[in-house]
Amino acid sequence: MVDTGFTKPADKIICWGKPPIVVEREIETATSMYPGRLVKKGTTANEVVVATPATAMVVGWLGYEDTAIAYREASVDTIYTVNARAAVLQGGGFGIVGSLTPNVAVEMGDMLAPWTSGELIPVERTEFGLAIKIPFTKNTAQTDTGIDIPQYMKILGATVRVTSAVSSGTIDVGLGMGSEGGYDADGLIDGLSTAALGYGTHINADTTAGNATLGVLLMDQTKSADSGAIYASVVEPFNCDGTLVSVDYTTSNHASAGYILVALAGPGFAPVARALEPKDASASSQDIMVQSLI
């Protein structure tokens, strides 16, 4: 067990810090509207619904102890009902109990961004932009990470950060599994080396077109104007249409491990919190204490 210096509160979601700015908003749709979830503007400015990274900016956290008693649910684990007048918390500088999306793992200090159902996903900066952080281990068969990219987001690029390196190790990262029409098992990353610790280094130019390590969903290749024998790849964002959604990967027969980093763009995709504790959500969603940045 890690002593973080913070204690998860009982029947509350605020952990510490300056008092948040509290505004009262009406629950328009009850889906996933638990205390501690991120919310966005609903049909009107007086209403809120659960936030997603692909469609709109987050307006705050759904509160609990700051909600009027008449509308407060029996516990912090009880979903709000339609038309309840709930507290929405904003302003930053306070600790709050949020919800970490399944199939990820968080280190203390990780940045967190909005994900589906108003939950949080770990992110870090890469050469391509802000990227979601998905753990990988040795899997020689195509393996679904459990992370689905929401419709309307753009994939700007993909790489890996290797934490356990093995000589000659490689990884493919794709989008979509067998039931998703047009899936490509190496459409994001194709044979990127995992032989060295740290961020992967893509092969962007080579005398053989097929040696590029950026997947075909993210690149266009042209022959160099200076030398017709050199093929250079140009990154092209991939528009997510809701058909190809599952991030999957396949490794070589080497025990490399680390994180797949998929850089994304969406109106609501930005850091909103920092993790105050490590948390493993590989099996299911987990409560997590975070420092609000919004």
pLDDT tens digits, 192-238: 999 999 999 998 877 777 788 988 899 877 766 665 566 667 788 99
Measuring CA to CA, which residue among 264, 288, 283 is closest to residue 52? 264
How high is the pLDDT of residue 3?
62
Considering the chain, what percentage of its residues have pLDDT values greater than 90? 79
Lowest mean pLDDT of 92-96, 202-206, 223-227, 244-248, name the range. Answer: 223-227
Considering the chain, what percentage of its residues have pLDDT values greater than 70? 95
**Range 14-99: architecture per CATH:** Beta Barrel (2.40)
Output the six-digit token pair for 186.
């190496």
How high is the pLDDT of residue 46?
96
For residue 127, which phi and psi values (nearest 5 degrees)?
-60, -20
pLDDT band at 150 (very low <50, low <70, confident <90, very high): very high
pLDDT band at 1 (very low <50, low <70, confident <90, very high): low
Is residue 212 within 8 Å of 231, Cβ to Cβ?
yes
pLDDT tens digits, 168-181: 999 999 998 877 77
Which sequence spans correspond to the domains of the chain?
A: 14-99, 102-292
Is residue 294 within 8 Å of 60, Cβ to Cβ?
yes
How high is the pLDDT of residue 2?
60
Separation CA 214–CA 157 (nearest Å): 8
Separation CA 172–CA 216 (nearest Å): 12
How high is the pLDDT of residue 129?
96
